[in-house]
A = this chain, B = another copy of it.
Amino acid sequence: MSSGFWLAHCLLTTPRARKGFNLLSMLGAHKDVAMDGTRDRNIFGAFALMIGDDIVRASSSRAPEAGPAASALALLAHKPGLSIRMLAVGVGLSHAGAVRLVDRLATEGLIERREHSTDGRTRSLYLTRAGKIASDKVLASRDQVIAEGLSILKPRELKILCDIAERVLRSRLESLEQSYRICRLCCYEGCTNCPIDAELLERGVDRENDDDG
């Protein structure tokens, strides 16, 4: 069997050939046999999933309960006075679920409901002192897990990665609600010149002075 025949045979019979791979891409590629980027996306997806899982696991392990409690604490540290409605969106819960979450966290003395300054319906949520401590623990463990994950990267690579992250974040930003989800575990003090805020401002939304929370 000639090598040419073998190549053609493979191209026609392997699963890879049937999934859109072609001769040109096979001849032109070095490490990545398929130049269509499937492998890149696969590996990057695993990477993002691993880091994301680590972030969620590390942060919620420091929270008083599993699930969205960690995000709620961090979000309230970021934006004191948040309403229950926006909290619900930020942590990805239904409104009723958020009310119950606030109930539990309030019972534990971590957050408190106050009257809204202008709207009698809205409750403004604030961290208590104990809540601030809990939130700090959550954020610290998140920061640590990211630092560990990226510890093998050189400072220059970190910069490149951060630059890419920043541009992707800005381009994929859809709405104010989504911005709360994205930033739900971010550290306020650490996010100097936050790209999400900047992008929202460019679009005419001022998240920082948004008193409806």
Contact = CB atoms under 8 A, between A and B. Distances in A.
A181 B48 CA distance: 12
A163 to B, nearest CB: 9
Contacts of A165: 43-44, 46-48
Contact of A191 (B43, B152, B162): B43
B143 A38 contact: yes
Contacts of A164: 47, 153, 157, 160-161
A183 B55 CA distance: 17
A166 interface: yes
A20 to B, nearest CB: 10
Interface string A178-208: 0001111111011111111000000000000
A33 interface: yes
A45 interface: yes
Interface residues of A, number: 66
A44 B146 contact: yes
Copy count, this protein chain: 2
* Most chain B C-beta atoms within 10 Å of own C-beta, residue among A19, A33, A52, A55: A52
* Most chain B C-beta atoms within 10 Å of own C-beta, residue among A34, A48, A172: A48
A160 B162 contact: no
B49 A193 contact: no
Interface string A46-63: 111111110110000000
Interface of A: 15-16, 19, 31-34, 37-53, 55-56, 142-143, 146-153, 155, 157-162, 164-169, 171-172, 181-187, 189-196
